[in-house]
A = this chain, B = another copy of it.
């Protein structure tokens, strides 16, 4: 079984320890300088502040300064960092990646680096590597409906592992699944990767509809369901535009993840506040006051930029994405009509 080093001791990094230990992997967990307080807790067997459970005692913990030590002889590196920290940390560990068999990516999203262009995280990783003349090992994107505390406590979870080389994804599905953490392999790396940030912005739309529905005696469940379907269609169109498989968005990485994200989660809560009457700025501030960042806000901006950048008519297939973007930047006031128009397409 592989030696797996998880970079980032946040909720998702810590949560992955449980199934990987159970699958028989040798697991190391490295904390960045933001994780020091968390590591203090984990080292003494206490619960992770966000998952609510300790990491398994078999996990070896490493502090920020010990990155060389924890990378030594590792077979798999799991990037479970804040998306913004991924390029920087990748530069630090490049020299240790020569013998790694793969890099797993739970950090997801679009990234916009120096040249202003928007890219998928995996592409950014490969660019960082090529800048220094190195080659990135195969990347495996992990997505799907994986609420961290459920994963950490052994509740049934079905993640997707996606890799251009599907045989590698299948290999991990065979070797790293457990009875309650069953990996679904996919060869559609780009399709899976694009679903992860997109579902956050569509969850905002579902929250807005829910909130708008609460303001009236009659709910907006029909609209919400139509938004849900439109979101899947737009995720599928986006993935296909990048060369992905049209079906991916209708599977665990798209429909599955949106089902859970759109019923709860920060992006949904943020949308709910807007639907109930807060301005987007007020809603964001209320979330920040609770120390809850809303990934979908940035995802909305970058996804639209990305689609424009591709400049091939993709944007025309994304009316709901545009509607969310317009709402979040305060360009429109009548949210109900903007959302309705985005999903109700009369036949010409």
Task: Enumerate chain A interface residues (CB-CB to B < 8 A).
Answer: 52, 144-147, 149-151, 153, 155-158, 170, 173-174, 177, 179-180, 182-185, 218-226, 228-229, 232-233, 250-252, 255-257, 259-260, 263-264, 336, 340, 343-347
Contacts and interface: CB of A to CB of B under 8 A. Distances in A.
Contact of A174 (B183, B260, B347): B347
Given A263-B263, A340-B156, A173 B347 contact: yes
A144 B183 CA distance: 31
Nearest to A206: B259
Tell me the number of copies of this protein: 2
A180 B149 CA distance: 40
B346 A177 contact: yes
A219 B150 contact: yes
25 contacts: A145-B226, A147-B219, A147-B222, A150-B219, A155-B218, A156-B336, A157-B222, A158-B225, A158-B344, A173-B347, A174-B346, A180-B340, A180-B344, A182-B345, A185-B347, A221-B264, A222-B260, A225-B256, A226-B252, A226-B256, A229-B252, A229-B255, A232-B255, A259-B259, A263-B263
Contact of A158 (B145, B151, B222, B263): B222
A160 to B, nearest CB: 10
A75 B97 CA distance: 71
B221 A182 contact: no
Nearest to A172: B347
A160 B188 CA distance: 30
